[in-house]
A and B are shown apart, each in its own frame.
Chain A
Amino acid sequence: MNESQIFDGQPVLAFRSEHDRRSFLRSAALVGVGAGFAGFYLSDPSPSSWSAFGGAMAKPSPKQDLEILNYALTLEYLEAEFYKQGVAGGVLKGRELDLVTPIRDHEQAHVEALTATINDLGGKPVASPKFTFPSGTFTNRDKFLATAGTFEELGVKAYHGQVPRIDSVDILAAAASIAGVESRHAAVIADLTGGEPFPAPIEANLPMAAVLKAAMPFIK
């Protein structure tokens, strides 16, 4: 399975580096984000670029909302399966286990909520892909938490990346209410791993294709 076979994959983003983007966000006004970075955002349909880039930038629509929800569902499937195996694997203890067990429950709740929402909107929830995790992921505490951190930071950026593409305010609110929880997870995991819980004053975002590319190694 490749990217384009899932969710009509979008062209891959080509901003120079994550660091450039964060530095920019540190000093820019919020409205500068879309316009000023249009050159690095060839695939990112921020409002100022719809007309400029034409067909590649689909305007928000109910159909696109369903695609976004199925995209989110796929990422939540990945996280839910990951934490299910991780918590069951017994590699965490004490406070760490206390902090990670609710994450497992949240991801499962997100899967169920997104599935129900897609059904309610008359869409068809995608089936869960089969996942594969590198050897040792669930038997080595450091490896497990490092992967958890990768997934959480990816999830946060994935949700933010879709914000300008969502048509329905209801879905926007629902997605945001999930995204904030992923941010909490990301910060807690970073704390446990000695990483950076607050990597930037404004969280970055990624378009669908870049997120899927990062997720592909875990999809069979």
Chain B
Amino acid sequence: MKITRKNFVRGDVAAVPPSVALGALNNRFGWAQAADFDSDVDVLNYALTLEYLEAEFYRQGNSAGLLSGKEMQYLDAVQADEDSHVATIAATVKQLGGQPVAAPAVDFGDSFASRESYLTTSHVFENLGVQAYLGAAGFISDKAVLQAAAGIFGVEARHAAVVGNLLGLEAEGGVYMGATETPLDMAQVLKAVTPFLAGAGAMGEGAAVTL
């Protein structure tokens, strides 16, 4: 059976064959589940939720006075990027006739206790963002949206690498995560962000995801 984007987008995941092409890339594909998204608006609201988390994380983190010099400049730029992603994705949801989800209530715990804990949590968020975008990409049907989402995905990868390097992590496995990025599906992503959400109901009414 020929796999088209159209039937993939509709969630016909069972139709996806074990692909030799993907095998060649030695990729462990965590496609989002068929029921995760019904439309581009769904995918974008999922992305928006993660971007809200990141934007708020950097707003708090950069206000904590933990960084200086080049590190501060870099993290300021990261915050500006996440703010831009929030604004851009929310505008896109509206343009597609959807309703942007509300920002979740968050609790970053001890993340801002030190420079190291801040950057370590940042590294987690950025890599998670990369994996979330990749896992959901196949569900975007509008090609202009898809191309722009790919451009956001790449920026999250940049953030992840640079923060990993600021932490002095091993190049492979710290700065880079292998020769290819690894996607995660929505359930895996939500499990990873749950510790940063302020309890059940944190996603708010009309949220893309519920806990």
Contacts and interface: CB of A to CB of B under 8 A. Distances in A.
Contacts of A4: none
Contact of B92 (A30, A117, A156, A203): A30
Q: In which size bucket is the chain A interface?
A: 35 or more
Contacts of B177: 181, 184
B154 to A, nearest CB: 4
Interface in A69-117: 98-99, 101-103, 105-106, 109-110, 113, 116-117
B120 to A, nearest CB: 18
A177 interface: yes
B142 A47 contact: yes
A197 interface: yes
Interface residues of B, number: 67
Q: Is the interface of B mostly helix, strand, loop or mixed?
A: helix
A1 B96 CA distance: 45
A197 B74 contact: yes
A113 B24 CA distance: 5
Contact of A31 (B16, B92, B158): B92
Most buried by B among A26, A33, A174, A187: A187
B71 to A, nearest CB: 11
Q: Is the interface of A mostly helix, strand, loop or mixed?
A: helix
Contacts of A191: 162, 165
A120 B20 contact: yes
29 contacts: A25-B88, A25-B151, A29-B94, A30-B88, A30-B145, A31-B142, A33-B148, A34-B147, A47-B144, A99-B165, A164-B147, A168-B3, A170-B16, A171-B21, A174-B22, A177-B182, A178-B180, A179-B153, A181-B180, A181-B181, A183-B154, A183-B158, A185-B161, A197-B158, A198-B77, A198-B159, A201-B80, A205-B147, A205-B150
The 4 closest A-B CB pairs, nearest first, are A34-B144, A187-B158, A116-B24, A184-B161
